[in-house]
Amino acid sequence: MSDSLRCFFAVKLPPEAMESLGEAQARLRAAEPGWKWVNPDAFHVTLKFLGQVERERLEATWQSVSAAIGGTREFTLALLGLGVFPNLRAPRVAWAGISAGADELTAMAARADEACSQHGFEREKRPFAAHLTLGRAREPGPSPALAAVVQEFEGSEFGGGPVDKVLLMQSTLRPTGAVYTVIGEQALERGDTI
């Protein structure tokens, strides 16, 4: 058994939102079958990616992150529109946007980043952009078909739901794609707003 794991902190989506988003992703997949597409069952919003981490360091980091985000109140997340990074001329990543809940996710990502820095992890260089990754280009380049689908779904609502916990996820790389396993959960504070 390995003494290190490839891990990240994330928020998962309610099943209804994942199903709705999965339908839009199927259209993207048909437009660009050569991309690596995320399995709809694994849709999530990454708060902080750690990479390969020794178990002992991971345990200490998870305790710090749990303490940093544990006081966050539950909130509602809503998905809105599709987009790509960095732009439609040279797309590398296809994503779904987040309308409601973006501020809460940004605050949690900042707290997680701060807590991780106390354990020697490098701070994020780019500002956090609340999004959900749908797929990645194997070979970056223009894709008019993909751009057309992204523009078609630009203002589409995909639903959402309550966020009541943050997850510590293990990512196992396989030839068929990454497999994600929940290895830790931190409940958020219950609120009266949901």
pLDDT at 151 > cutoff 70: yes
Task: Compute CA distances 47 → 10, 31, 131, 159, whole Å.
Answer: 5, 29, 10, 20
Where do the domains of the chain lie? Answer: 4-187
Q: pLDDT tens digits, residue range 103-125?
A: 999 999 999 999 999 999 999 99
Superfamily of domain 4-187: Cyclic phosphodiesterase (3.90.1140.10)
The pLDDT score that the predictor gives to residue 69 is 93
Share of the chain above pLDDT 70, in %: 97
pLDDT at 1: 44
Compute φ and ψ for 175, nearest 5 degrees: -55, -30
- If DSSP codes are grouped into helix, strand and coil, which group holds residue 80? strand
Q: Tokens in use for 162? A: 């309550």
